[in-house]
Structure 1
Amino acid sequence: MRSLYADHVLERMQFMQEGTLQQRLLSCMQLAIAEGIFPRATRLPATRDLARELSVSRNTVLNVYENLMAQGYVTARTGSGTWIAENLPEGSLHTPRNAAVIDSMTAKPAALSKRGASLLGHANASPYQWGAFVPGAPDVTQFPHKLFSQIQARLNREPDVERLIYSSQGGCMHLREALAEYLSVARSVHANADQIIITEGIHQAVDLVSRVLCDPGDQVWIEEPGYWGTRNLLRINGLKIHAVAVDEQGLIPDLPARSRAPKMIFVTPSHQYPLGVHLSLERRKQLLDLARKHKTWLVEDDYDSEFRFSGQPFPSLQGFEPDAPVIYMGTFSKTLYPALRLGYLVVPKALAQPLRVAAAELYRGGHLLVQRALAEFIQKGHYMAHIRRMRKLYSQRRRFMVSLIERYLGAAFLPLVNHEAGLHLVMNLPMGCDDVAVAALALRRGVKVRPLSQYYMHPQERRGLLLGFACVDERQCQDAFGTLKGCLAEMGII
């Protein structure tokens, strides 16, 4: 079997036509060393071995090694072979390839498709995903990593073949069964394992249902304000987006006379994102009536319903009526940790097979070993125990955040919707102030907040800041809040 060194040299020499064999081989190795493809302070293959792998004479390789040594690219260690030098000769830094790299860095931007340019033009994903006050970030340090690793290690010792190949069945059956049982109890979701499709989070779930159930140009409704990630996915899939206002009772499902009914309505009924209201009983009935009448799919995003800290939990919209036209989406990103990249869809029976096949075609499902471990984690009660612990911790942190706002800023800055739930709250700001500028100033001072105005599709007077409290302890929270208060004072808001 050839070494990687020989493979690289053989590949590159195919594009070299000028010079003798020895000259071409020398040039290849100089470039590979200068570019770091052959790392510094590593050992080169023995001359005899490399000659055999390249099907050239050993004398050719010996002469190349001697030239490399004379030029300072390699050194010889008695009894230990030939090693690439730690400090390369100055001339090696000015190879033609390096010049091409520099040129490419200063070249004009590549031409993108209209769709690609639109996606980047509306991109909103933050590079900051941890710390005060990143909205929606769970405290990933509190997850029982050791316990979960032990489950994984045991299952991984002798894995079944089925867990090492592509998944075309909507994910691990053990996990789908565990989820069907859990969701029935915790969220009043009516479904069996065959109706559950494992995804890599909410984004993939939105992409799947919007691609398979909508055509470009179809109208869909989203909440105003609403989650920018859903909005951007629908836009990139060519759908016509209509933002529907949200009030203290949730989305207002009003379809004007002679208006075209939407193909889908995306809604967060249990804890509206980002305002935090829940969809009232009357609005739920109206929404379901509208969906049944116009054959519209309701897509329920139940992203963090596990974290309600007072009062009765609100059941899912999916389980509100038998055979409701609802596609239910959930994720483990908030309850466990985002990098797990696991979520799920619960779909009506008529959609189960088509969406399962489409998911296999589009995404080639995997991560089955992790899914199997998560199934056991749920079935043995560890998942619910973790949620109970985190619910208590997040409740304490939310109360502390509210107390800081009340003590240092006053009641006018408290959330207009004060439901005790979720991993963030919206701090109210005076009408018309520049919440984007406040967020930018806070970021320069090391505090990460998101402006409420960026969650609206259309201009609004209302202003606020999304403050994530879940991933910061009380000391960090107080220090960061002091910095944020200073930003508000500097901008004349307080």
Structure 2
Amino acid sequence: MYEYLYELIKEDIADGKLKADEKLPSKRGLSQHLQISVKTVENAYEQLLLEGYIRSEEKRGYYVNKIAVVTGGAPGYAAPVKRFQEETYLADLTANNIRYDRFPFATWAKVMRETLTDYNTSLLKTVPFNGVLQLREAIADHLNRYRGMQVSADHIIIGAGTEYLYNRLLQLLGPDVKFGVENPGYRKITKIYDENGVEWDYVNIDDKGMKVDELRMKDINVAHVSPEHHFPIGLVMPVARRQELLNWAAAEPGRYIIEDDFDCEFRMQGKPIPSIQSRDRSHRVIYMNTFSKTMVPSLRIGYMVLPEKLMEKYISTMNFYSCTVSGFEQYAMAAFIEKGYFERHIKRLVNDYRGRREKICRMFRESRLSEISTIYQDDAGTHFLLHVKTSLSDVEIKWAVRQKGILINCLSEYCFADADKYHGILVIHYSDMDEATLKLVIAAFEEIFL
């Protein structure tokens, strides 16, 4: 009751119906007029006093304070403007969306329950700036077994995804650094560079990866590469080019390699090649990875491994930044790795994706599209390239496909230069594609291109 009365008086003051310095009825007088208790009026007046709408003058009563009259309607009641609306599509081929029926919900729930029991009060404590020790140790062990890396848990920093960690890394490396990115390559990283105001340039790739001679020619200090699975081309950087990169980094002080191990777990043929970091003897490789691709995107746990010199600088200058991942999720992820669940989960995903990839590629090759199309890189990660012979421009392709309810990206969109040489090449992400949807996609493509 008092809240309602308070709102009415406040609205009258804000609208100018109650003028500045106007005297309000006494508590008793207003209570008798409204036939409510004196206590109700007193509580309403107290709240108005607290917020400064009225003042109390000793032995005189309550008076309205001078408040600017609100114009343009009552605050909080304007219809909100919708800035973003999530659209739905027949198929989204632009990103690797996880198949939720392949996520081990029961096991993850079991691990979370055990985490609550095993760590109870530890979950309430402040997380160290570099992340929970148990998770950093689990990651170090995983990298040793899976990527051939001998790293200390003390060199690992946990953060809410690689985008957050890139921002911290750019701050750590400082403003006087020039970054080199692969062309074609992942465009989001350059947007992060632009937002942070750092200098960058593209470096062309050949069939072995980033061209090292262009790094020298363009005076690059930090090379950003994805050697295990280049995105979107899908090539794997051979050992000779990796060593060439390491030699380039070691030749001058201040040079570093950012090894983005994107999609490294999803090798469809053979074993993963040891990371560039595992061959680094000059401590010039910054290793980046995330669990968003292997677990679920909403589990925002990424990590970077810093070489000794950069780790010392981070500790001395940036340890005031709080860790951005909850302790509960970190302890749970650590247990998921330590108990072998993560490795088994990866194996199941790889087997599922391998079978799905073979089936999808076969359906494309057995369709009428095969007359005008070729599939490239059908063993690289969770996407492949479909080259279509067409007179349509890439912009026209995207528009025509979108009219069919399908989202698609063309390889030319990942280029910083020489985009024309990749005309008509579609980047097909397939990780959550079911057979029924794929048939509709192929039928739509046949209508557009044939």
Which band: TM-score by shorter chain? 0.7 to 0.9
After superposition, residues 227-238 of structure 1 pair within 5 angstroms as: 227-238=186-197
Partner Cα separation in structure 1 for residue 40 and residue 91 of structure 2: 51
Select 1:317's aligned residue among 276, 282, 290. Answer: 276
Counterpart residue number, 1:422 = 381
Distance 1:345 1:381, change over 3 A: same
Are 1:219 and 2:196 matched, yes or no?
Answer: no
Alignment of 1:21-420 (within 5 A): 51=41, 53-55=43-45, 96-97=73-74, 101=78, 131-156=91-116, 159-215=119-175, 218-255=177-214, 259=217, 261-295=219-253, 296-355=255-314, 360-362=319-321, 364-408=323-367, 409-410=369-370, 413-418=373-378, 420=379
Tell me, yes or no, if the aligned pair for 2:203 and 2:215 is still in contact at 8 Å: no
CA offset digits 1:102-136 (Å, max 9, x no partner): 6x959xx9xxxxxxxxxxxxxxxx97799542332
CA distance in 1, matches of 2:90, 2:123: 32
Mark the CA change 1:294 to 1:15 in structure 2 (over 3 Å): closer, same or farther: farther
Is the contact made by 1:188 and 1:316 (CA closer than 8 Å) also made in structure 2? Answer: yes
Residue type at the aligned position of 2:278: G
Pair 1:467–1:256, CA change in 2 (3 A): closer
The answer as to whether partners of 1:222 and 1:265 remain within 8 angstroms in 2 is: yes
CA 1:359/1:377 → structure 2, altered by over 3 Å: closer, same or farther?
A: farther
Structure 1 contact 130–471 (Cα < 8 Å) conserved: no
Q: 1:209 to 1:155 in 2, by over 3 A?
A: same
Equivalent residue number for residue 475 of structure 1? 436
Partner of 1:31: none
Separation (CA, whole Å) in 1 of partners of 2:8 and 2:119 = 38
Give the whole-Å Cα distance in 1 for the aligned partners of 2:197 and 2:440. 44
Matched residue, 2:52 = none
Asked whether the 8 Å contact 1:135–1:449 carries over to 2, the reply is no
Structure 1 residues 472 and 10, CA gap change in structure 2 (3 angstroms)? farther
User: Aligned partners of 1:3, 1:328: CA distance in 2, in Å?
Assistant: 60
Partner of 1:278: helix, strand, or coil?
A: coil
**CA-atom RMSD in angstroms:** 3.6
| 1:262–1:161 distance in 2 versus 1, CA, 3 Å | farther
Measure the CA separation in 1 of the matches of 2:383 and 2:236.
Answer: 15
Aligned identity (percent) is: 23
Q: Which residue of 2 aligns with 1:43?
A: none
Deviation at residue 376 of structure 1 after TM alignment: 0.4
TM-score (normalised: structure 2)? 0.80
1:444 aligned partner? 403
- Looking at structure 2, the residues matched to 467 and 330 of structure 1 have their Cα atoms a distance apart, in angstroms, of 22
- Residue type matched to 2:219 in 1? A
* Counterpart Cα distance in 2 of 1:8 and 1:458: 61
Corresponding position of 1:85:
none
Alignment CA distance shift 1:460-1:310 (3 Å): same
Q: 1:8, 1:212 → 2: CA distance?
A: 51
SS at match of 1:328: strand
- For the 8 Å contact 1:308–1:391, the answer to whether it is kept is yes
| Whole-angstrom CA distance in 1 between matches of 2:6 and 2:313 | 44
Counterpart-to-counterpart distance in 2, 1:7 and 1:223: 62
Superposed CA offset, 1:59-113 (max 9, x none): xxxxxxxxxxxxxxxxxxxxxxxxxxxxxxxxxxx982379836x959xx9xxxx
| Residues 333, 340 of structure 1: 8 Å contact kept | yes
Separation of aligned partners in 2, 1:349 and 1:382: 31
Q: What's the secondary structure of 1:266's corresponding residue?
A: strand
Quick one: which amino acid aligns to residue 192 of structure 1?
S
8 A Cα contact 2:249 2:257, kept in partner: yes
Query: What letter corresponds to residue 466 of structure 1 in structure 2?
Result: V
Contact 1:248 1:417 in 2 (8 A): no
Maintained 8 Å contact 1:166/1:366 = no
Relative to 1, partners in 2 of residues 1:262 and 1:100: Cα closer, same or farther, differing over 3 Å?
A: same
SS at match of 1:414: strand
Deviation, 1:235, is 1.4
- How many residue pairs match? The answer is 408
Q: Secondary structure at the match of 1:241?
A: strand
